[in-house]
Chain A
Amino acid sequence: MTQTETPESSGGDVRLRGISKTYGSFTAVHPLDLTIPAGSFFALLGASGCGKTTTLRMIAGLEEPTTGTVELAGRDVTALPPYKRQVNTVFQNYALFPHLDIFENVAFGLRRRGIKSVAPQVEEMLDLVELGPMARRKPQQLSGGQQQRVAVARALINHPEVLLLDEPLGALDLKLRRQMQLELKRIQTEVGITFVHVTHDQEEAMTMADTVAVMNGGRVEQLGAPAELYENPATTFVANFLGTSNLIAAEVTEAGGEDLLLAAGGATLRLPARRCRTAARAGGQVLAGVRPEKVALAHADDAGEVPAGHNRLTGRVKDASFIGVSTQYVIDVPGVGELSVYEQNIGRDGRLVPGAETVAHWKPEHTFGLDAGQDISAGADLGEEAA
């Protein structure tokens, strides 16, 4: 390795131990253990009210945890006020000081720490976020995207161990948000500081973060790399909140082998045992899940062409909507319910119109199994709302 920087300068581990927050009788965050490795881009993802912002604020010191401790780079900072923590926050709606110009906003942290010649650092930082010429403007004279970059510069200039971002892109329009996601990712790679990003936008979390913690009801439902969470969700909430999932209530008919055999709507489905998140025994219930884009459709007349070994369900097209890159079908499968299928628009089958009989099929290894004791639609509405 050519890296000579000390761990402090490239950000420190954030370690939360048994941290929780209650307001009266309401528990915002249940006791939570979480380690955010130094230098990573970590996202706390969840719908509003799931406790993600409270968790972030406890790291910043803006909220006092009811129980538990916060460690930064190996040091217990639970009792320290925010101004004594090597942590900086990019606030939702930025919270720029309206009475100070951009230069003074960015210089604020340096000045408070008694640094005399701030100009070179401030100019360098403004260049990093491409706002050099705006130095003497007031925040309200800048566009939303520019204000957002000022907020990032104002926090980053202090070289914090951890940079906390509280829905930093929430106020921007979609196009600018995409652009800023890449921009933030670039900055994070460049400075190597640990970023903890709170968002309700699953696409944002997946685009930017190395590790995503999906929160729901004050608890972390699942933690992992974006692809891992998407391909292998552990709970119905994660399956529905991150993208869309088809969840099929099924009965286990055969367990013990490499694949579980499931019965659903008269069909037999294969589920690799290692992709089943719950202990399955013959006669028990599981939820078999598959992502809509993993499913292919064949017209009933071509049923013979479906590759052998694929999971297959037969139903009727209920709805087909063309959205450019793909066509989204809703297939009504008797005894199973509605199945959502996204077909890429390469050689669309013109016969797949509403009413047509069709076979939906997918590779068994794209199936995942979840505990049937959960709410099958948990997080479904929230995911759509956030997307």
Chain B
Amino acid sequence: MTATATPAPPGPQPRTEPAAPPLRKTPARKRLIPYWLLLPGILWLVVFFAAPLVYQASTSLQTGSLEDGFKVTWHLATYWDALAEYWPQFVRSVAYAAVATVLCLLLGYPLAYLIALKAGRWRNVLMILVIAPFFTSFLIRTLAWKTILADGGPVVGALNALHVLDVTSALGITEGHRVLATPLAVVCGLTYNFLPFMVLPLYTSLERIDPRLHEAAGDLYARPVTTFRRVTFPLSMPGVVAGTLLTFIPAAGDYINAELLGSTDQKMIGNVIQSQFLRVLDYPTAAALSFILMAAILAMVTLYIRKSGTEDLV
């Protein structure tokens, strides 16, 4: 056997035994290739995901103070206390993220549909425009929204002139004659920041649909609207599911938008975790909140995927 213990060096390997009789067993080196390819990713996950997770889990079960030091005491009550105290922020996070996700879907679907099916030679230009915001930092873009929605700015001025803010204030999503430091501002920021994460998977799944399926539906007496409802939309479900997950999950944990565009009344759970870690220095509570958020998102996502039943669509 020519199998060696050293891993295959990178780069193309000349096949050394072209005349050798067919081997019954794959050489050990060949069988190991998948594991070698997985290794960098696994290492990365172990160091930057699994290890911190274990560390956070242990932190969440500690008690003590910064001065006396923290010890693992299996104090599970931290979880209940955290939940009891911060449940409004949890609910708010889920609500803001859900509204932002729905808005992203409503804005992103027509956009992705247009780019994938109607844009023709403008397709690439439009795709670049969708991705362009990533060229600047998330933080800068959110700060820009602070300027856009500023109290004396033209947007708020126009909304006031049109009495839109009277309506939204009556609905409780703005306050008085301003937009900043209201739920509307935070949701706007979330929607804006996560829109590309909705558009990209939607675009991919719409673009993959065989155009002959649209023709076949039309040929079988479906009007354009029916074709969309019965063929295009169901076939784009993988994109809808992926897009909503990619929007909802980071939006639920986000704290930048609430920090920059909201007030203390719009604090999301991300803000609480951040301040527990960095300001209050109550590490166990911060870690427990992180785990509760993770578990909640995991549960919601599992339920959602079960419901949307996308495994049939691949």
> Which residues of A pack against B, CB within 8 Å?
60-62, 81-84, 87-89, 91-93, 95-99, 108-109, 112-113, 138, 154-155, 158
6 additional A-B pairs beyond A62-B218, A97-B213, beta carbons within 8 Å, are A83-B220, A83-B222, A108-B217, A109-B221, A112-B220, A113-B221
Name 10 A/B residue pairs within 8 A (Cβ), A-sorted: A61-B218, A61-B219, A62-B218, A81-B218, A87-B219, A88-B220, A98-B313, A108-B222, A109-B221, A138-B312
Q: Which of A82, A84, A113 contacts B215 (CB 8 A)?
A: A82
Is there an interface contact between A60 and B221, defined as CB atoms closer than 8 Å? no
In the complex, chain A residues whose CB is within 8 Å of the CB of B210:
95
Whether, in the assembled complex, B223 has its beta carbon less than 8 Å from a beta carbon of chain A, the answer is yes
CA distance A65 to B165 in the complex (A): 53
Cα-based distance from A59 to B215 in the complex (angstroms): 13
Asked if B226 is an interface residue, CB under 8 A from chain A, the answer is yes
Beta-carbon contact of A82 and B234 below 8 Å: no
With a cutoff of 8 Å between Cβ atoms, the chain B residues found around residue A155 in the complex are 219-220
> Complex formed: what's the CA distance from A99 to B210 in Å?
13
Whether B234 and A99, one on each chain, are in contact in the complex, defined by CB atoms closer than 8 angstroms, is yes
Answer yes or no: B216 CB below 8 A from chain A CBs: yes
Docked Cα-Cα span, A168 to B158, in Å, equals 60
* Contact mask for chain B residues 223-245; partner A; CB cutoff 8 A; 1 contact, 0 none: 10010001100110100000000
- Measured between alpha carbons, how far is A26 from B185 in the docked complex, in Å? 54
Chain B residues lying within 8 Å of A109, measured Cβ to Cβ, are 220-221
Q: How many residues of B contact A (CB 8 A)?
A: 20
Decide if B313 touches A89 in the complex (CB within 8 Å): no
Does chain A have a CB within 8 A of B118? Answer: no
Residue of B nearest to A113 (CB): B221
Q: How far is the CB of A120 from chain B (nearest CB, A)?
A: 19
Taking CB atoms, residues of chain B closer than 8 Å to A62 are: 215, 218-219
Q: Which residue of A lies closest to B226 (CB)?
A: A112
Known interface pairs A97-B231, A99-B234, A99-B313; A91-B218 also in contact (CB < 8 Å): no
A82 to B224: give the CA distance in the assembly, Å.
10
Whether B312 contacts A82 by the Cβ 8 Å rule is no
Chain A residues with Cβ below 8 Å from B219 are: 60-62, 82-83, 87-89, 91, 155
Q: CA–CA, A108 to B231, complex, Å?
A: 10
CB-based contact B221/A89 at 8 Å: no
Task: Assess whether B24 is interfacial by the CB under 8 Å rule.
Answer: no
Say whether B215 contacts A83, CB under 8 Å: no
* Chain B residues within CB distance 8 Å of chain A: 210, 212-213, 215-223, 226, 230-231, 234-235, 237, 312-313
Give Cα A61–Cα B219 distance, bound, in whole angstroms: 8
Provide the residues of chain A in CB contact with B215, threshold 8 Å. Answer: 62, 82, 89, 91, 95
Q: Which residues of B contact A154 (CB under 8 A)?
A: 220
Given the known interface contacts A91-B212, A95-B215, the answer about A158 and B312 at a Cβ–Cβ threshold of 8 Å is: no
Given contacts A97-B231, A99-B235, A99-B313, contact A108 B218 (CB under 8 A): no
Distance in angstroms from A101 CB to nearest chain B CB is 10
Neighbour of B218 across the interface among A82, A92, A138, CB < 8 A: A82
Alpha-carbon distance between A138 and B314 when the two chains are bound, in angstroms: 12
A61 to B216, CA, bound (A): 11
> Is the Cβ of A99 less than 8 Å from the Cβ of B222?
no
Least CB distance, B175 to chain A, in whole angstroms: 46
Given known A99-B312, A99-B313, contact A112–B212 (CB-CB < 8 A): no
Give the distance in Å from the alpha carbon of A20 to the alpha carbon of B222 in the complex.
Answer: 27
* B312 close to A95 (CB less than 8 A): no
Contact A98 B235 (CB under 8 A): yes
The interface residues of chain A lying within 8 Å CB-to-CB of B312 are: 99, 138
Q: How far is the CA of A93 from the CA of B313 in the complex (A)?
A: 19
Q: How distant is the Cα of A198 from the Cα of B236 in the complex, in angstroms?
A: 31
Q: Are B313 and A112 in contact (CB under 8 A)?
A: no
Query: Which chain A positions have C-beta within 8 A of B216?
Result: 89, 91, 95-97
In whole angstroms, what is the CA distance A112 to B216 when docked? Answer: 12
Q: Is the CB of B223 within 8 A of A95?
A: no
In the docked arrangement, what's the CA distance between A184 and B194, Å? Answer: 53
- For B209, the closest partner residue in chain A by CB is A98
Contact residues in A for B221 (Cβ distance below 8 Å): 83-84, 109, 112-113, 158
Instruction: Tell whether, in the assembled complex, residue B213 and residue A83 are in contact, meaning their CB atoms are under 8 Å apart.
Output: no
Cα distance, A84 to B215, chains bound together (Å):
13
Task: Note all chain B residues with C-beta closer than 8 A to A112.
Answer: 220-222, 226
Residues on the A chain within 8 Å of B313, using CB: 98-99
Complex: A92 Cα to B211 Cα, angstroms: 12
Contact in complex: A93, B222 (CB < 8 Å) = no
Closest 6 CB pairs of A and B: A109-B220, A95-B212, A112-B221, A95-B216, A82-B218, A99-B234
Complex Cα gap A95–B216 (Å) = 7
How far apart are A258's CB and chain B's nearest CB, in angstroms? 53
B220-A108 in contact (CB<8A): yes
In the bound assembly, the distance between CA atoms of A93 and B213 in angstroms comes to: 11
